[in-house]
């Protein structure tokens, strides 16, 4: 099983580990609810080094990415990032990712851990007629996510930067211990924060320094359990749960991440047809109005008939109630406001709500997500 370069540090912090797509990653340290709350009120530090990092360069890198991604890569400014999809010919979602533009010809794609090898092979096949080079930087790259209201102060004291001076979905490059580091103003929690891309040989020093500098701000190391409840509260998608090759961005509610001005991307024709015809189903939020914790696979019932299955569900530490996502037929959404979710054989009433579940004054505007899983 693969281990992050930070594994020994997680073990020293008495983390509970779980197998995540072949990686032994921290599930929690002091408890998922405590860690979730720390991110919402102070700061949390995550190791997400299991994510795939693919570098794309060469004279035809823009042409290849215009073919592979659902936005126009030439429109992305250097030192900026963009959320996007890889689609199949039917408009199904092969993967969702973040694209970072380093310079005129070099990009980095941060892909889901479970899809890294498949994405890399698919990109190589798609780009076989282009003058483009693809490199898997995953083995040497660690990704550390610093998230929460205090994250800007911690980053400022640790790295001597001024977070207010560069916008969301942009990044800066600097040197740390003789090695280059990317500090991206992105995240997967709905809070202020950063994702830090560093070589594995210096990642431990960065992790230690952030935990030390963050002590007075209430920072906590956080595992994947809290990461999941945080992203769920925001209605952020998890590939393999909420989206896959049998779902499309239109029904998932992410059509704003499709640039139809890009006439080259794979799946464009299918997506245009789905948009014009209207999707047969839509991904919606379900907020339980009585005690209960919905989980993936729970049935959604309306008037005694199953109309959907929960794709993601959990207890929301911020809202103190069960919340879930599910695809429901579009025809039912015109009139239905309440449904039932079957949990351990018992029906629990749930209200159909818009995303995000969790809203906080001063929280950065929802704009998709950064890394997923």
229 and 150 share one domain: yes
Q: What value does the mean pLDDT take over residues 293-307?
A: 97
64 three-class SS: helix
Task: Kindly state the average pLDDT of the residues 254-263.
Answer: 97
Neighbours of 280 (CB within 10 A): 11
In tens, the pLDDT along 155-192 reads: 999 999 999 999 999 999 999 999 999 999 999 999 99
> 25-44: per-residue pLDDT in tens?
999 999 999 999 999 999 99
- The string of DSSP letters for 292-336 reads ----TT-EEEETTEEEEEEEEEEEETTTTEEEEEEEEEHHHHTT-
Check whether 370 has a pLDDT greater than 80.
no
Collect all residues with Cβ–Cβ distance below 8 Å to 305 and sequence separation of at least 6. none
Classify 80 in phi/psi space as left (phi over 0), alpha (psi -120 to 50) or beta. beta
User: Domain with 242 in it: what CATH number?
Assistant: 3.30.1360.120
pLDDT confidence band for 363 (50 / 70 / 90)? very low
Domain boundary among 256, 278, 300: 278
pLDDT given for residue 361 in this prediction: 57
Q: What is the CATH number of the domain that holds 333?
A: 2.40.30.110
- Which pLDDT value is given to residue 35? 98
The alpha carbons of the chain give a radius of gyration, in whole angstroms, of: 20
Supply angle C-alpha 76, 190, 18, rounded to 5: 105
Same domain, 241 and 261: yes
Q: Which structure tokens are listed for 147?
A: 């998230």
Collapsing DSSP to helix, strand or coil, 268 comes out as helix
Q: Is residue 368 part of a domain?
A: no
pLDDT value at position 367?
42
Is residue 209 assigned to a domain?
yes
Range of the domain at 287: 280-353
Q: What is the pLDDT of residue 170?
A: 98
How many structural domains does the chain have?
2
> Does 5 fall in a domain?
yes
- Give residue 365's pLDDT: 39
Whether residues 189 and 324 fall in one domain: no
Q: Domain for residue 274, yes or no?
A: yes
Listed residues 222, 257, 278: the one ending a domain: 278
Instruction: Say yes or no to pLDDT of 150 above 90.
Output: yes
Q: 196-211: per-residue pLDDT in tens?
A: 999 999 999 999 999 9
H helices present in 106-223, as ranges? 116-126, 151-159, 200-213
Task: Quickly state the pLDDT bin for 334 (edges 50, 70, 90).
Answer: confident
Q: For residue range 81-139, what is the model confidence (pLDDT) as tens digits?
A: 999 999 999 999 999 999 999 999 999 999 999 999 999 999 999 999 999 999 999 99
Mean of per-residue pLDDT scores for the chain:
95
Q: Three-state DSSP class for 260?
A: coil
Report CA torsion sign: 124, 130, 135, 138.
negative
- Which region among 5-9, 38-42, 299-303, 332-336 has the lowest average model confidence (pLDDT)? 332-336
- Give the pTM: 0.95
Structure confidence at residue 369 (pLDDT): 54
Q: What is the pLDDT of residue 360?
A: 80
Q: Over the stretch 39-84, which tens digit does the pLDDT of each residue have?
A: 999 999 999 999 999 999 999 999 999 999 999 999 999 999 999 9
* Structure-block tokens of residue 136: 């898997």
Which band of pLDDT confidence, cut at 50, 70 and 90, is reported for residue 336?
Answer: confident
The mean pLDDT value for 268-282 works out to 98
What is the reported pLDDT for 31? 98
Q: What pLDDT was estimated at residue 335? A: 83
**Same domain membership, residue 248 and residue 287:** no
Read off the DSSP letter of residue 71. Answer: S
Tell whether 315 and 186 lie within a shared domain: no
Q: Which residues lie closer than 8 Å to 344 by C-beta, 6 or more apart?
A: none
Residue with tokens 């530490």: 317
In whole angstroms, what is the distance from residue 278 CA to residue 267 CA?
16
Residues paired with 346 in a beta bridge: 343
SS3 174: strand
Q: Does residue 315 share a domain with residue 174?
A: no
SS3 label, residue 81: strand
Q: How confident is the model at residue 158, as a pLDDT?
A: 97
**Residue 333 near residue 295, CB atoms below 8 Å:** no
Q: Within this chain, do residues 74 and 217 fall inside the same structural domain, yes or no?
A: yes
């Amino acid at each position: 099983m693969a281990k992050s370069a930070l594994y020994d540090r997680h073990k020293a912090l008495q983390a509970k580990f779980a197998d995540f797509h072949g990686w032994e990653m921290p599930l929690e340290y002091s408890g998922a609810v405590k860690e979730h709350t720390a991110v919402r009120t102070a700061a949390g530090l995550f190791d997400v080094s299991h994510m795939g990092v693919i570098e794309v360069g060469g004279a035809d890198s823009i042409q290849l990415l215009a073919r592979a991604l659902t936005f126009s890569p030439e429109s992305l400014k250097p030192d900026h990032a963009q959320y996007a999809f890889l689609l199949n010919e039917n408009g199904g979602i092969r993967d969702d990712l973040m694209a970072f533009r380093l310079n005129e010809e070099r990009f980095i794609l941060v892909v889901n851990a479970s899809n890294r090898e498949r994405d890399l092979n698919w990109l190589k096949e798609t780009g076989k007629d282009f003058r483009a080079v693809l490199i898997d930087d995953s083995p040497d790259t660690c990704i550390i996510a610093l998230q929460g209201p205090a994250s800007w102060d911690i980053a400022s004291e640790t790295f001597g930067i001024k977070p207010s001076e560069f916008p969301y979905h942009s990044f800066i490059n600097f040197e740390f211990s003789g090695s280059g580091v990317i500090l991206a103003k992105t995240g997967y929690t709905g809070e202020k924060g950063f994702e830090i891309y560093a070589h594995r040989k210096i990642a431990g020093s960065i992790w230690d320094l952030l935990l030390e500098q963050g002590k007075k701000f209430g920072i906590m190391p956080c595992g994947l359990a809290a990461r999941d409840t945080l992203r769920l509260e925001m209605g952020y998608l998890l590939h393999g749960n909420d989206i896959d090759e049998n779902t499309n961005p239109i029904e998932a509610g992410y059509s704003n991440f499709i640039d139809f001005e890009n006439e080259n991307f794979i799946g464009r024709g299918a997506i245009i047809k789905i948009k014009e015809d209207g999707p047969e189903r839509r991904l919606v939020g379900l907020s339980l109005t009585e005690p209960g914790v919905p989980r993936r696979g729970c049935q959604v019932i309306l008037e005694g008939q199953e109309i959907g299955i929960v794709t993601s569900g959990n207890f929301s530490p911020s809202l103190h109630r069960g919340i879930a996502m599910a695809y429901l037929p579009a025809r039912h959404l015109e009139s239905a406001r309440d449904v039932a979710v079957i949990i351990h054989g018992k029906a629990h009433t749930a209200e159909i709500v818009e995303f995000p579940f969790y809203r906080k004054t001063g929280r950065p505007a929802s704009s998709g997500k950064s890394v997923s899983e």
